[in-house]
Structure 1
Amino acid sequence: MLTSLLSSLSSRTNLKFIRRRASPNGDYIRVSDTGIIQLPKPLDREFSSSYNITVAAQEILEDGRLSDRESHAQVHVIVTDENDNAPELVYPEEPRVCENAAPGKVIIRISATDKDEISPRGFFRYSLATEDSNFSLVENYDNTANITVKYGQFNRELAKIHYLPVIISDNGDPELSSTNTLVISVCKCNEKGNFTFCEERAKQVGVSIQALVAIFICIFTIIVIILLILLRKRHKKDLSGLGRNVAEIHEQLVTYDEEGGGEMDTTSYDVSVLNSVRKNGIKPEPVPSPYAQVQKPPGNPTSGAGEMEMMIEVKKDEADNDRDLLPYDTLHIYGYEGAESIAESLSSLGSGSSDSDIDYDFLNDWGPRFKMLAELYGSEPNEDFVY
């Protein structure tokens, strides 16, 4: 308690203590109304070894109000040290040794540090965690030690890098120790003992829990992205079986309900009825198709039918009676030509006579346009005509 603050005041006076000011780390110190210094949580000497606060004392009047009179005192809190940290090795710069080093050759001198306060009589002890190696440790009794060659030459073919665990202990109460690892490279050297070639080694890097969590999250994110890419490729592969993607299919699907120009109406009859004839195997009675019937003027009965006309008639009858043909596949025979012509029909189908039996004198009556024909087919050719 801060009894020094009460020396100038009457013992019958009620006092209230208030912490006015504190050092940057003074928030770790509290003062009760009765003048008791309290610690809300344990202090760490490695964080701060001392704390400074200013405490004020005020008189409490009979009516409960605080008096205007106030006294101050500076309080300096010193944190004593406890041995709660183990010593640590001060890692040297890449310890190396020649592969042909002699026994007793000093490789490196090591030292240690401790976060705790070391007493004047304090010291560190060094030892090797294993004796089964080509290294030995020699104490210098000044908180340092030497790492030396124990047996002699090293074989680079067997091991180019050696890991040597070193135990360091302090003399605190309680005694604490730690194990540290030295990474020693075996190098090639020249005759003077200078290093000519050494293997590269990775420096030891401590990985915190936060770093491990971040690495795990990154790996998980990469795996998820890879899975999404694979699923997308598989989906595209399924769509490729259709030949086009979904967008192209939606754009290309068009329905036409109208017949094209020049096409026959295929909705006026049932196609299944036509196919049923083939399935039953019964050939219907030959009925001339209305599409194949063509009206033509009657021919000259006195002239007779030629061989060409008879052949065409046979082909026409076969086409009329063949119900396997589509309705629009018809054969039209034109035996009459030139309804508006003076010469009427010039077709040979309507006449079976030869050219020698026909009198072409009537060509002279058709006018000047048929003069050439009249001269060619006339019975008395014009002598003035020049071929």
Structure 2
Amino acid sequence: MITNHYLGLLMLSILWTITAMPVAPENTGNLFGTLPEKDDGRILQRSKRGWMWNQFFLLEEYTGNDNQYVGKLHSNMDRGDGNVKYILTGDGVGSLFLIDENSGDIHATKRLDREERAIYTLHAKVVDKRTNETLEPDTEFNIKIHDINDNEPKFFKEIYFASVPEMSDVGTSVIQVTATDADDQTYGNSAKLVYSILQGQPYFSVDSDNGTIRTALPNMDRETKENYQVVIQAKDMAGQMGGLSGTTTVSITLSDENDSPPRFANHTFRLTTLESAEVGAVIGRIKANDADMGRNAEMHYSIVDREGQDMFTIITDQNTQEGLIRVKKPLDFERKRTYSFKVEVTNTYLDPRFIYSPNPPFKDDAMVRITVADVDEPPVFSRNPYIIEVHEDTAAGSLVGVVSAKDPDADNNPVKYSIDRHTDLERLFNIDSVNGTITTLKALDREMSKWHNISVVATEISNPRQTTRVPVFIRVLDVNDNAPEFAMYYETFVCENVKSGQLIQTISAVDTDEPLVGHKFVFSISSSNPNFTIVDNEDNTARILTRRGGFSRREMNTYLLPVVISDNDYPIQSSTSTLTVNVCACDSRGNMQSCNTEALLSAGLSTGALVAILLCVIILLMIVVLFAALRRQQRKKEPLIISKEDVRDNVVSYNDEGGGEEDTQAFDIGTLRNPEVMEANKLRRDIIPEMLFPFRRTSPIKDNADVRDFIHGRLHENDTDPTAPPYDSLATYAYEGSGSLAESLSSLESGATEGDQEYDYLSNWGPPFKKLADMYIEKDIERET
């Protein structure tokens, strides 16, 4: 068959070659049809050429031993005398294609593959060998490689994956597979493909033209078979004998549809639980099976019977799709020991195709039987909590209340009672361990505590580990055992110019008791009180009014008014509170100005004022006596200056590395004359003195002008710069006392100056001290004389 195909192609090539032979020069006909006209009406002229050619065809995959003949070029300029030369240029010339320059024959030197390259474009030119003149211009032509069926069809994938819903109708499209053929689509049937199914029947079929795979059987069930392997073949040559083929595999999965109902494998479940199971505890699991998968297998459980709904609930475990049965109410073995109820299971998501079927398959039911087992339970109190009321005046040992508990088990073991002492730290209550009677150990006071919260413990005698606690709230009821009293401290005053019947104070009262209908206080005072009266406002307040006018501070500045306050509860309680009323001076509008008992000048001095003045006089006399004694002591001290010639100056230089001013201790002549004065007045020079500017003593020298000028110069420098340290010091060896804050009052300074000594610091204290200063001045003058 292949040999015949090649022979046919060879004959076709020979025919094309014959049509490409040159024609006579006289043939001036247009092989390409009528020449077109230009837009301006001029007809385009085609230049005549002396040789004609057509497109050449060449078979691919040539298997001969010689070069494959392509075709022949011939020009009418060739007279056969060997003067014409054919020249070939273009794709593959010299390697793939060769031309005989004398005859114009073209040959292919290699086997060509159309799938690699289908057409080659060449250029031919005819020249004169002698003159190398171009006889025919450069002309383009093509060599087209003729296709043979040498490529099989190929699919894009070796394995395809697809899915289709189960229970799909016949002919439902699954997937389309496509193959390609590298052969020429326009020539023959080499690339015309036909699809067929080699494996996968009778479940699937394939469209022979486009490769679409479809379902071929109805009601394919995923639960029966889920995966299918389908082999598809693509064959060229339109499926005829001798054509080439290729195959691929398609893995088809049936996707799940909710077509399977949940089913209980066992339609009776038996569970056992203890009666002590807490509310909400899971006591058992039941399971239904569903052949579907994913959300189609999700189930919902429900309890159908009323008895089961009251005591139990059921939910779905989303991971295992089991039904979890939980306790809804407390179980009691002594009350009911078995429960039976029906549980129904349905799919959560129903397929619309099956909802309205005559017999919906998407539910199932089963019976659940639960047996309650007995456990040893702790005692149970008759109430929880207990609220007991007792009056606060109840005596110790009185009955407060009774609590009761019993063993809920069938044995009904006896119990004993006790009080948790952590809840009764003051030990106010006691309980009878046998009958649960609560009594008081101490008297109760509602004003101290209105409520007492204790815990009572009930314990089984046969099993002390079984205990139960119950809170007992004891409310202390009020008894009227407290008298009312003033609500606050009142600062009450009455004006001297007050008139009779004027309001001076409004009072109110409080009571720590708590009557049932509220407080009602009654206010009263002695009817024989001539100064004040009281008016009850009937709203737990009262007004204090004056009964006369003309109060005077000189006569009495304070009045004490006893007020009796009573309540209306049983038994009636009353108390007397004292109201202090001060007599004050007021203006014409009644505004208080002063409440002090100061005496008027026209009436003389009071006792308090006389005492105060006497104390001031005594203090002043003591100051004068102390000052005179100090002055005498200063006069008795021996002066250090015996002669005016003993005055020396001591200039200290601080430009060395010595001890500074501490070195001047060795040159203090005053220390040699009077050691006692030295010890008393010597200042330490290694610390900062407390006074920044020490007192300066004036020099007794009055005739030495040089020394005086020197002193005044240094004094001026220190005055202008008070913060500068004393780099130079002038030591005078004169005794001026031990350092009075008022400086010296001696006659030394008075004798050293021409004028009188200044005593103004005493004059500034007032007239009495000015007289004292004048007296001391006169005495100093007498001593100097």
Of Structure 1 and Structure 2, which has the larger fraction of its residues in helix? Answer: 1
TM-score range, shorter chain: 0.3 to 0.5
Give TM-score scaled by structure 1 length: 0.47
Which has the bigger relative contact order, CA under 8 A and spacing at least 6? Answer: 1
Of Structure 1 and Structure 2, which has the larger fraction of its residues in strand? Answer: 2
**Structure label with greater radius of gyration:** 2
Give TM-score scaled by structure 2 length: 0.24
